[in-house]
Amino acid sequence: MSSVALQQSLRHLEAGFVNFYNKRAGYPKFHSKKNGGSASFMGTAFRWDGKSLRLAKMSEPLHVVWSRTLPRKARPSSVTVTLDPAGRWFVSILMRETIPCLPACDKTVGIDLGVKDFAILSDGTKIPNQHFAERNQKRLKRAQKALSRKQPGSRNRRKAALRVARINAQTRDRRRDFLHKLSTRIIRENQTIVLEDLSVRGISRRVRAVEAPDTGRYLCNGQARKRGLNRSILDQGWRELRGMLEYKARWYGRDVVVIDRFYPSTQLCSACGAKTGPRTLDVRRWTCPECGMRHDRDVNAARNILAAGLAVRACGDSRTRKTAEQLASVRLSGKQETRPVRNGILRL
């Protein structure tokens, strides 16, 4: 083994303890390598000639299937080799690259994330749910059942665990591929993207459910929740999509606005701004009692999210009292009246 990789592991350990003593992180944990690990090669511990990669003490280059074309005259600063639980090897090369910004456009979009449809855009476009985990659910169930029958520590148990890991890796790869394509499409088509600050852990928290009589549904905190809702929420990848949009927006010169998670986007009418109160999940369409506008629940929420995000972007964080007072004093051009402020965010 190269001494550079061993020394780098000690540097990672040192960084973990420094973060712990400075109260930036918890006590470092020593991770088991039975499900895979990684080794980092710095500086002189590898050779890159623009086409092939040789690690320290290797006479022949690595046989690599490249996922992308590296920039010309690239000068890598480090190489990390990783083994995942599914038995696949990966090589990550760190280098500097200048990414040109995309041409500016005037399109804006609000995104409401859901379970029935993965994402609903403010222009009415609905991105269907892909059901990544559901595709492999039967295979995974059989593989996990076979794993539970194997003797701990045996070779057959390692083989069964590898089958389970490969099924999970396929589900994870499908989800990541879908999220990358969707986030890139949204970034390329829009200048400003508005999202909600969702708490996935809070939404998917398992609460004690009581079955309602003669309905086959479960009552949780006064609302009917169907079986498997938590599994569907965790299968979506909402937080991963937000992270991709944020770093791609920094790359390509776009803006991502995240509004408060308690903003009542489903309770407001996007046409007149009237607050009509909460609704259960089974109500997908409703009519505003003030203006009579017929709304699709998710599209209306996406439009409210967009309006709130544009107000926050123009006037700052609307959750503060000072900004709320500023929003309340804003008058529309051409009309000598003040728009109402609902929950601290101006209705546009």
**Distance separating alpha carbons of residues 86 and 90, to the nearest angstrom:** 11
Place of tokens 């169907």: 226
Place of tokens 């986030």: 183
pLDDT tens-place string over residues 192-222: 999 998 888 777 764 334 334 444 444 444 4
Instruction: Decide if 81 contacts 1 (C-beta within 8 A).
Output: no
pLDDT band at 317 (very low <50, low <70, confident <90, very high): low
Half-sphere exposure of 324 (CA within 13 A, CB side): 9
**Distance separating alpha carbons of residues 314 and 117, to the nearest angstrom:** 30
Kindly state the percentage of the chain with pLDDT values over 90.
Answer: 43
Report the DSSP pairing between strands 108-113 and 117-121.
antiparallel
Q: Centre a 10 Å sphere on the Cβ of residue 277 and count the other Cβ atoms it contains.
A: 8
CA distances from 213 to 206, 216, 223, 225, 257 (A): 21, 7, 14, 14, 43
The model scores a pTM over 0.85: no
pLDDT at 229: 73
Place of tokens 């040192």: 14
pLDDT band at 228 (very low <50, low <70, confident <90, very high): low
Q: Given a cut of 80, is residue 237 above it in pLDDT?
A: yes
Q: Given a cut of 50, is residue 54 above it in pLDDT?
A: yes
Q: How far is CA 187 from the centre of its chain?
A: 14
Average pLDDT rounded to a whole number, residues 315-321 = 52
| Type of residue numbered 202 | G
pLDDT tens-place string over residues 244-253: 999 999 999 9
Instruction: Decide if 118 contacts 298 (C-beta within 8 A).
Output: no
Structural domain boundaries of the chain?
A: 3-94, 111-126+180-226+239-346
Q: Looking at the chain, list the stretches that DSSP marks H as alpha helix, in order from N- to C-terminal side.
A: 3-21, 132-135, 137-149, 155-189, 200-203, 229-234, 238-252, 297-315, 321-328
pLDDT tens-place string over residues 238-273: 999 999 999 999 999 999 999 988 888 888 888 888
More confident residue, 163 or 296: 163
Report the DSSP pairing between strands 53-55 and 46-48.
antiparallel
Q: So which residues are the catalytic ones? A: 112, 196, 298
